[in-house]
Structure 1
Amino acid sequence: MGDSLSAGYGLSAEQGWVSLLAKRIESAKPGWRVVNASISGETTAGGSARIVREVLRVKPAVVVIQLGANDGLRGLPLREMRHNLARMVGASQYVGAKVLLVGMRIPPNYGADYADGFERVYRDLAAHFDVALLAFLLEPIAADRGNFQDDNLHPVADAQPMLRDHVWEALAPLLD
C-alpha cells in the first residue's frame, strides 16, 4: 500500500522499486507473490479506506505500508494521519500479516514542530503495534538531486535499485 513513490510515478511499470523488489523476492523466496496496491496521489485517508478490502481480498502474509508523503505535502493534520496509519496496521495484523511501516520525511515548510511530529508518527506507531519500521524510504538517495525527476519529488529509474535494496534490508526478515 503506497503512493506515487511506490506506484513508480513517471516510470515504466518494471522500473519502480516495488517491481524490482518483486523480482528479488521471486528469486530469493520462491512462492511469494507481490501485489502492488499503490496509487499515485494516495493519502493515508485513501489507504485507510481501502485497506480492509485489500487485505481481505489478498490475504497477505506481509503488508508494506508506504503512505504519508502526500499528507505531509498538503499539511494535513498529524492526528488524522496517525489514525489512518493505525487503522491500516491494525487491519493488516487482524488478518495475520506482518507489517513493515515505511516512513517519510518532509521539508520544514510547515515548521519544525510539524516536521518532527510527522516523523514521530511512524516511530510511535511502529513501537505501539510492534511492527518493523523503515524510518525514511528515500534515505539512500535524498542527498543527491540527480536521483530525482524534474519535479524534485519522484525518484528517477536509476535510483530505484537503491530504494529496492533499502526496503529489502527491512523486509527480508519478515519473509521467513
Structure 2
Amino acid sequence: MKGLDVVNRRHFILAGTLAGSAGPWAARVWAQAAGKQPVILVVGDSLSAEYGLKRGEGWVPLLEKRLAEQKIAATVINASISGDTTAGGRARLAGLLSQHKPTHVVLELGGNDALRGLSLAGTEDNLMQMTKAAQAASAQVLIVGIQVPPNYGGDYTRRFEAIFPKVAGATKAGLVPFLLKGIADGPESASLFQADRIHPTAAAQPRMLDNVWPALRKLLGPR
C-alpha cells in the first residue's frame, strides 16, 4: 500500500461565516465572485494513486496538465491510497475536507470493496455519507463508477454497478459511469493492463482522464 500522495498542495482560506453557513450553491457563487480558484480533491484507491506507474503518469497528474492547457486555474490534491475502501475513505474524509477546503471532490472508491467481498449495502452507505459530507462542506461531488468482471456473477455485477448512479441520483452529484470504459471493455484491453490484470498501464491513463473530464468540466462551470 502506498502512502498518501498529495499533489501540488496549496492552501486557500474560505473566509467567513458566509461559506460556512450557506448551502453549496450560495458558497459557489460567493467563491466565484471572490475569485477563488477551484480546489479539486481526489479521494481514490490505486486506480488514482499511480500504482505501478512512474510519478506523473497517472490520470490525476494528467488532469493537472489538462487544466493548465485549457487555462483553468485550479489546484488538484490527490489523496488517493492504494488498497483503500469506501470505509477507509469515509474515515479520513472529514480531515481532508477540513485541511484542504475543496470546492470539488472526486470520489473514486469501491473497487476494493468488491475485491474483498464487502457488503454492497455498506459500500452504498459509505459513498452516500461521503457525498453528503462533502456537499455539506460546500463542495461539488463527482462520483466515479467502477465495474467488476462477469465472473463475480451476473446479479452481483449488476447490483454493484448500480450503486454509483444510485448515489449520484439521490444526492444530485456528478457521475462518471465507468472509469475504465474503453479500457477494460475495449479491444485492446490485454495491452492496457499491468501484469496483475487489475491496474491500467501508463498508456491507459489518458483514456481514464477522458472518461472523467466531461463530467468534471461541467461541474467546474464557465471559466
Q: Shorter-chain TM-score category? A: over 0.9
Task: Extract unaligned runs of 5+ from structure 1.
Answer: none
CA contact (8 A) 1:26 1:33 kept: no
The alignment partner of 1:15 has SS state of: coil
Question: Match of 2:198?
Answer: 153
Percent identity for Structure 1 against Structure 2: 49
Task: Extract unaligned runs of 5+ from structure 2.
Answer: 1-42
Alignment of 1:62 with 2:88, yes or no, is no
Question: Match of 2:217?
Answer: 172
Structure 2 residue aligned with 1:3, among 32, 45, 51?
45
Aligned residues: 176
User: In the aligned structure 1, how far is the partner of 2:183 from the partner of 2:150?
Assistant: 19
Distance apart, 1:175 and its partner CA:
1.1
Alignment of 1:34 with 2:34, yes or no, is no
Structure 1 residue aligned with 2:152, among 81, 102, 110?
110
Equivalent position amino acid for 2:126 in 1: N
Question: Match of 1:126?
Answer: 168
RMSD, aligned α-carbons: 1.1
Equivalent position amino acid for 1:40 in 2: S
Deviations 1:128-175 (A, max 9, x none): 000111111000211221000000010101111111121111111111
Give TM-score, length-normalised by structure 1.
Answer: 0.96
User: In the aligned structure 2, how far is the partner of 1:91 from the partner of 1:12?
Assistant: 33
Question: Match of 2:94?
Answer: 52
Give TM-score, length-normalised by structure 2.
Answer: 0.76
Equivalent position amino acid for 2:108 in 1: Q
Higher relative helix content? 1
The alignment partner of 2:169 has SS state of: helix
User: In the aligned structure 2, how far is the partner of 1:114 from the partner of 1:103?
Assistant: 15
1:104–1:95 Cα change, 3 Å: same
